[in-house]
């Protein structure tokens, strides 16, 4: 999987259009890291499936079905939940909401329940405050995953996990193949560009929670890549490792929505990137309890391209992918210098490389 993903993005990395990688800053960052490395998270908190059983593996597979887009639109309050008197938002909020629901007896890990998900049910599960963007898309994804589990895996994630045969790559590939929303790929100049962020993240989280044992005994976990999360460009830009070209920087800093790639021309790009079928289009979120106000109109895989739309979005965007678009630097000498600056071996990268960054107070998942 690593080889296929890296080869698919190689042409963009070697000839980016809107970003540059400063290799001197990369070296400086590596020198500043502790010699013993950075320990990956173990995903053990009171609000993250606190029970010591194999259900944790199913929990993380479920969580990653809708683990995306937690920012608030301008003027809106970011979605949050209350778990035992403490407020959580972002990805932690989703974990806390799912844990709370399981404690309340909701059969969240059962495919039959997911297959019959409604906006009202999900609104109750995610009750809290603020606005959660792409709410109706999340309802549709959970339905589709539930139906797939019922049809092919006895209604349980644990059977899908068993089908992976103890291999992280096989698990990620199963998620991509069985559930279209995990298939975050797009076309660029006739080439397929692969990311598979949440599919790989799901496998890695199971591995990390179980410390490479039991359900998480994946000897091939090193065959996963760094996950293409929209936090990475934030972190890399803050570290001055990633430099945006002026036109892209102006749009990101100005909170301007960047138009997505139109795969195959026309169509609902938002549903394409979410892997949703047309039967989810009519699902709408509740407007009262829980503070949901329906879905935002931001595509999951917005890519940096010239001529983007004018709708404002938060500065972290929504899965803004690095190296978007293609360009030819003017002149052979500039091209070669640009490639030397931008070429970066990913063989030594780790999914746990950046959690230790000291984020500003107003940055969160």
Task: Encode pLDDT of 152-174 as tens digits.
Answer: 999 999 999 999 999 999 999 99
Cβ atoms of 280 and 272 closer than 8 Å: no
pTM comes to 0.73
Mean of pLDDT values over 228-243: 90
Task: Provide the pLDDT for residue 57.
Answer: 98
Helices 55-65 and 135-152 pack at an angle, to 10 degrees, of 130
The 8 Å CB, 24+ separation contacts for 187-190 are 187/261, 187/263, 187/264, 188/11, 188/12, 188/261, 188/325, 188/326, 189/11, 189/326
Question: Does 184 participate in catalysis according to the annotation?
Answer: no
- Residue spans of the domains in the chain: they are 2-285+293-342
Cα-based torsion angle of the residue sequence 166, 168, 174, 180 in order, rounded to the nearest 10 degrees: 150
Residue 315's alpha-carbon distances to 51, 134, 196, 197, 260, in angstroms, are 37, 17, 23, 20, 16
DSSP code per residue over 279-309: GGTT----SSGGG-----S--TT-B--TT--
Q: Which of 121, 90, 80 is nearest to 104 (CA)?
A: 121
pLDDT greater than 90 at residue 38: no
Q: Pick the catalytic residue from 229, 316, 318, 319.
A: 229
pLDDT tens digits, residue range 75-127?
899 999 999 999 999 999 999 999 999 999 999 999 999 999 999 999 999 99
Task: Provide the pLDDT for residue 100.
Answer: 98
Residue-averaged pLDDT of the chain: 76
Report the number of secondary-structure helices (H) and strands (E) in the chain. 14, 6
């Amino acid at each position: 999987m690593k080889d296929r993903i890296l080869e698919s993005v190689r042409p963009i990395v070697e000839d980016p259009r809107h970003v540059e990688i400063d290799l001197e800053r990369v070296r400086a960052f590596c020198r500043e890291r502790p010699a013993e490395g950075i320990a990956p998270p173990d995903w053990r908190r009171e609000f993250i499936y606190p029970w010591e059983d194999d259900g944790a593996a199913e929990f993380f597979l479920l969580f990653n079905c809708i683990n995306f887009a937690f920012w608030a639109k301008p003027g809106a309050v970011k979605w949050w939940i209350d778990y035992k008197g403490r407020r959580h938002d972002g990805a932690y909020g989703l974990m806390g909401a799912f844990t709370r629901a399981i404690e309340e007896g909701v059969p969240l890990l059962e495919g039959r329940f997911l297959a019959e998900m409604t906006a009202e049910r999900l609104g109750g599960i995610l009750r809290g405050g603020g606005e959660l963007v792409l709410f109706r898309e999340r309802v549709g994804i959970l339905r589709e995953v539930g139906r797939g589990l019922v049809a092919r895996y006895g209604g349980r994630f644990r059977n899908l996990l068993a089908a992976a045969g103890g291999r992280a790559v096989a698990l990620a590939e199963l998620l991509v193949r069985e559930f279209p929303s995990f298939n975050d790929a797009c076309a660029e100049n006739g080439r397929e560009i692969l990311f598979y962020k949440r599919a790989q993240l799901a496998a890695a989280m199971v591995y990390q929670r179980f410390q490479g044992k039991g359900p998480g005994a994946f000897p091939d976990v090193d065959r996963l890549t760094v996950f293409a999360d929209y936090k990475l460009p934030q972190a890399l830009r803050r570290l001055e490792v990633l430099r945006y070209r002026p036109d892209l920087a102006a749009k990101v800093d100005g909170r301007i929505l960047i138009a997505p790639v139109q795969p195959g021309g026309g169509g609902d790009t938002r549903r394409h990137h979410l892997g949703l079928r047309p039967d989810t289009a009519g699902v709408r979120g509740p407007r009262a309890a829980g503070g949901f106000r329906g879905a935002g109109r931001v595509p999951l895989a917005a890519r940096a391209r010239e001529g983007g739309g004018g709708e404002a979005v938060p500065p972290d965007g929504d899965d803004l992918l690095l190296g978007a678009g293609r360009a030819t630097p003017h002149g052979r000498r500039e091209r070669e210098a640009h490639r030397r600056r931008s070429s970066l071996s990913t063989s030594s990268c780790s999914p746990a490389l950046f959690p230790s960054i000291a984020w500003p107070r107003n940055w969160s998942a």
